[in-house]
Structure 1
């Protein structure tokens, strides 16, 4: 996270979970402690900003996905529209 970014931390009184929000990006994460919520937020922001890599064909096969049939596009499920 860059200096000057606004991060909001709140604790839910019912669940005792901490919520961390990166206000600029709109990324939210939770944790059982403040530290855990912030660590989880760092990971979520990395994913949001494009960290990581596409899975290899071998990793897809291990998950039961045929790489040849794994193509982008198609219709989204109703829950995502």
Structure 2
């Protein structure tokens, strides 16, 4: 999916890591190589734009979320509103 915008990406080396940053969004990621940093940035930008895949129940559990109690569009409890 093309947005018609040419991204501006910076790559910097910081000790043993390469850091890739999209200057338009401020989203950044890192990797041990330039290629890894850019691949990780692509994944981070997809998540930032809501293009990521839905996590599996196992991934939700690993993140401390109970999939059976995770309800979309549910109202927040009063104490969190």
**Range of TM-score over shorter length:** 0.5 to 0.7
Give the structure 1 partner of residue 46 of structure 2: 46
Does the alignment pair 1:32 with 2:36? no
User: What does residue range 1-81 of structure 1 map to in structure 2 within 5 Å?
Assistant: 4-12=6-14, 15-55=15-55, 59=57, 63=61, 65=66, 67=68, 69-71=69-71, 73=76, 75=80
With the length of structure 2 as denominator, give the TM-score of the two structures. 0.66
**Residue-by-residue CA offset, 1:19-41 (whole Å, 9 max, x unaligned):** 00001011000000000000000
How much has 1:16 moved relative to structure 2? 1.6
1:79 is aligned to none
Equivalenced residues, count: 69
Structure 1 segments of 4+ aligned residues over 3 angstroms from their partners: 53-56, 71-75
Gaps of 5+ in 2: none
TM-score by length of 1: 0.66
